[in-house]
Structure 1
Amino acid sequence: MCLIRRSLILVSIIISAFGGAQNPIVPNKGLNDPHIHIFNDTAYVYASHDKSVGSDNFKMEDWWVWSSPDLVNWTERSTLKPENTYIGKPFESSWATDVGYKNGKYYWYFSEGNEQTGVVVGDTPIGPWKDPLGKPLLTSDLTPTHEYDMAIFEENGEHYIIFGVWDYYIAKLNDDMISLAEAPKKIIINNPRGPYNTDGTNKEMPTDDKPFVHKYNGKYYLSWGVFYGMSDNLYGPYDYADTIMKETSFAEGYDAPTWPNGFLQGRHGSFFEWHNQWYFAYCDISQTGNRYFRDTFISYVHYKENGEMATIRVDGVGVGQYDANKGNIEAEDYFKAHGVQKIENTIGGFSIKSFEDMGYVVYPNIQNLDGKSIVEFEILSDKDAEIEVREGGSNGKLLSTCKFTANRTKAFQKESFKTNGLQNGQTICLVFKLSAKANLKINRLRFK
C-alpha cells in the first residue's frame, strides 16, 4: 500500500505541475480494458472498471462509458450493471467490452468473466441499455477457446466479432447484431509471440487474451495488447510482426511498476482513428502500483512505409495536448489534419507534408506558452516555401507568416520566426500555402 500511495501522490504532483496531465485519461478511477469509438465527433470509451486501489484480485462489478470532445477532458456517461443483463445479479467479473453501431442503434457487448459474451442495445452511445436476448450471445461451449474479451470490427456495413484467449476466433454477425451469421472460424497466426511466449517456444500460451482488429491502408491488423500480426485478409492467416511498445517507450516515472511478466503484459486495449490521426488506448499500472487497479493511457500511433507500426511513446502528456516547456512537439503528433500526410524519415521518426494547397494541422491545448514569442521549425524543403501559424484553426487569427528558404543539403534545418499573441492553453494551426505543397517537410516544432 505504501507503493500505491506514493504512486498516487506522484500523479497529483504531475497533474499540478502540468495543469492537467492527460495520461491516465481518468486518474485513480480504475478505468481499464478501453475500447474507444468516435460517434458524432465525440470519443466514447467503453471500459471495464476495477473496484478499488486496495484490491488484491480482479474485482470488477460493472461496465462504464465515458466520453470526451478532445481526448483530454473525460466525463462519466453511463454504467451497465450485471443485474440489468441476463446475468441478473451482482457479479465481480465484469470483464472487457466493445461496441458496434448499426441502423441507428448501439450494441454493447460484454464479457461474463472469462467464459461467455452478452450484448445490450441502446438508442444512443450511452444507452439506456436493454438486454435483447436474455441469455449469452457467445456461450462457453461454442469453440475450443473461451468466449470472452471480444472485439467488434466493421467493414462496408458488415460487423464481425473476434474473441478468445491463446487461440482467436472470428464470426460475422447478422444484420440484427445479436446473432451469428456463421460458425466461428479459428484465426491462424504464423510465428506468434506474447508476454508469456517471447521466444516462440510456449505453444500452450502463444499469444494472450483480448484480441482486437483494425484496418489501415488495405492491411488488417490483429493485435493482442501491444503484440500484433498483419494480413491481407480479415480471416487471416496473420503473420506476427512486432510489439509497438519497447523499453525505449517510457518517459521517466512511467516504466514501473508493471506486471509480473514485464511491461509487455496486461496491455489490453484498442486502436482507433480520429481526424486523420491514429491512437492506441491501453491499460497501465505505473501510476497506481497495483495490477488490480488499472488506468487507461492513450498514445499516438504512426505507420512505417512497410505497414508496420512504429514504437509508441508512454508518458504523462499523452495526446490532444502539449507542453511547450518540454521542448519539441513532433509534427506528426497532431490532433487534426486536412490535406496533410505523415512521411517516414530516413533518419528515423516521421515528418509531415501537405499534398494540397491550404492543407493544415492542428495542435490544441498547448500549455506553458505564456512568455514565449518564437516558433522554431525543423524542416526540409527543395524550394522556397511558406506556411502560416494561426490561432484556433485554418481561418483563425494570424500569429506568424513563416517563409522558409530552399535547403539543398538534403538534411533537416532549423528556422525560427517571431510569433505574436501566444497564450497558455492555445490551439495552434499550421496552414501550408501553395508553395509548400508536396515540397516542405516539417519534422518538429518548438516554442521559445
Structure 2
Amino acid sequence: MPANACLEGHQHKPIIMMKKNLLALLLTVIISFSLKAQNPIIKDIFTADPAPIVHKGTVYLYTGHDTASVTATNYKMPDWHVFSSKDMVNWKDHGVLLSPQTFSWATGDAYAAQCIERDGKFYWFVSTFHKSNADSKGGSAIGVAVSDSPTGPFKDAIGKALITHEMTTDTKHGWKDIDPTVFIDDDGQAYLFWGNGSCKWVKLKKNMIEMDGQISVFKPQNYIEGPWVYKREKLYYLVYASAGTKPEMIEYCTATNPAGPWTYRGIIQKNVPNSFTTHPGIIDFKGKSYFFYHNGSLPTGGSYRRSICVDYMYYNPDGTIKEIVQTTEGVKPAK
C-alpha cells in the first residue's frame, strides 16, 4: 500500500464524520420541527368548520371538507369527515361519514355541522341547501342525521329538513339558515342555535328531531355566522364569527339564561392566517380547555382550502375568556 494511502484515509475520516454529524443535526431539526408544528392538526386533506365532542375518553372531531381548486373563488365542500383522538395530538380519519346526498331533500355543499350525543344516540345537525319542491323554495336548510355510534353509519333522522328557508324571515339572503350548534342544558332541555346575518334559536324536544316552540331571532354585537353555544359553571357562552372587521374574527357573549339577554364580552381570536373565515369549536378534555378553529396555512391553502387547528383556551376568574394565542406548535399530548 502506498505510504500516502493511509494518510488520505485518515484525512477522509473527519470529512465523513462531519457529513454524518451534519445529517444527524438536520434530521434532528426536521423531527423537532415536525413535533412542534402540530397546527394544522389535519394535513392530508383540507378541513373546515371544526365541531368537537368528548365521548368515553375520546375526542371526536366533525369537520367540513374543502376540495376547491387553488384558483377557485367559491367553496366546494362535498362531504363531512370524522376524526378521533385520545390525546389531542394523534388523529385518526374515519373517512367520509355523511354528505348532502344522505338527505333526499338536500342539494349543494356540506356547510358547518355539529354532532351531539343523547341517550346513546348521536345526532349530527348539518347545514346545506334544500331542493326546490313542494316543501321548500330552496335556500339554506338544516337537517339532522342519527347513529348509534359517533362514527356512524348515519342516516337521515326524519326524512325532511328540520329548518327550512321559509321558517325565518328577518333576512332574505339564501344562506341565512346555516351553521347549527346544539347543546343540552343541565335540566335536559336541548337548544339549537344557527344563522348567518342574525342568530336564531329554538328549543328541541327530547327526541332531538322536533322543535319545541317558536323560533327566536336576535343579533349579538358584530355577529355574522358560525355560533358555538355551551355552558360552563353557571354561565352560558355564545361564541361566533364576527363581521366587525374583514376577515372574520371570533367574538363572544355570555348570559345566565340560554334565552338571554346576552352580554357582549369582546374579541377572543383575531384574524387567522390566509383565510377570510374562521369558525370556533370548544371542549374541555382531561382537565384542559381547547379552542378549535380553521385557517389557510397549509401549502396551497386559502379561504376555500382551509385547515383545522387547535390551541389552548383559558378563562379569567370571573369566567371571561382570555384572548386565544394562535400557534403553529398547537397543544401537547393530553394525559
CA distance 1:15–1:319, shift in 2 (3 Å): farther
Is residue 316 of structure 1 aligned with residue 289 of structure 2?
no
**Aligned residues, how many?**
281
Is residue 82 of structure 1 aligned with residue 100 of structure 2?
yes
Is residue 153 of structure 1 aligned with residue 191 of structure 2?
no
SS in 2 for 1:179: coil
Q: Greater RCO between the two (CA within 8 Å, min separation 6)? A: 2
Is residue 227 of structure 1 aligned with residue 251 of structure 2?
yes
In structure 2, give the amino acid aligned to 1:287. L
- State whether residues 52 and 281 of structure 2, in contact with CA within 8 Å, keep that contact through their aligned partners in structure 1: yes
1:263-342 equivalences under 5 Å are 266-288=277-299, 289-321=301-333, 335=334
2:202 aligned to 171, 187, 199, which one? Answer: 171
Q: Distance in 1 between matches of 2:303 and 2:29?
A: 21
SS in 1 for 2:101: helix
Is residue 42 of structure 1 aligned with residue 58 of structure 2?
yes
Aligned residue number for residue 239 of structure 1: 263
Q: How far apart are 1:237 and its partner, in Å?
A: 1.6
Aligned residue number for residue 70 of structure 1: 87
Q: Distance in 2 between matches of 1:14 and 1:32?
A: 30
Is residue 27 of structure 1 aligned with residue 43 of structure 2?
yes
- State whether residues 185 and 231 of structure 2, in contact with CA within 8 Å, keep that contact through their aligned partners in structure 1: no
- State whether residues 281 and 296 of structure 1, in contact with CA within 8 Å, keep that contact through their aligned partners in structure 2: yes
SS in 2 for 1:272: strand
Q: Distance in 2 between matches of 1:136 and 1:149?
A: 14
Q: Distance in 1 between matches of 2:159 and 2:234?
A: 38
Output the TM-score relative to the length of structure 2: 0.78
- State whether residues 283 and 295 of structure 1, in contact with CA within 8 Å, keep that contact through their aligned partners in structure 2: yes
| Runs of at least 5 residues in structure 2 that lack an aligned partner in the other structure | 1-27, 130-138, 242-249
Aligned residue number for residue 180 of structure 1: 211
Q: How far apart are 1:34 and its partner, in Å?
A: 0.3
Q: How far apart are 1:15 and its partner, in Å?
A: 6.9
| Runs of at least 5 residues in structure 1 that lack an aligned partner in the other structure | 1-12, 194-206, 248-254, 260-265, 322-334, 336-361, 363-448
Is residue 142 of structure 1 aligned with residue 173 of structure 2?
no
Q: Distance in 2 between matches of 1:222 and 1:127?
A: 28
- State whether residues 273 and 295 of structure 2, in contact with CA within 8 Å, keep that contact through their aligned partners in structure 1: no
Is residue 54 of structure 1 aligned with residue 65 of structure 2?
no
Q: How far apart are 1:55 and its partner, in Å?
A: 5.3
1:344-423 equivalences under 5 Å are 362=335
Q: How far apart are 1:93 and its partner, in Å?
A: 1.2
- State whether residues 51 and 63 of structure 2, in contact with CA within 8 Å, keep that contact through their aligned partners in structure 1: yes
SS in 1 for 2:224: coil
Backbone CA RMSD of aligned residues: 2.1
Q: How far apart are 1:16 and its partner, in Å?
A: 4.6
Is residue 103 of structure 1 aligned with residue 110 of structure 2?
no
% identical aligned pairs: 30
SS in 2 for 1:93: coil
Q: Distance in 1 between matches of 2:195 and 2:29?
A: 37
- 1:166-188 Cα shifts (integer Å, max 9, x gaps): 21111111111111111111235
- State whether residues 50 and 58 of structure 1, in contact with CA within 8 Å, keep that contact through their aligned partners in structure 2: yes
- State whether residues 28 and 295 of structure 1, in contact with CA within 8 Å, keep that contact through their aligned partners in structure 2: no
Q: Distance in 1 between matches of 2:145 and 2:64?
A: 15
Larger radius of gyration: 2
Q: Distance in 1 between matches of 2:71 and 2:30?
A: 24
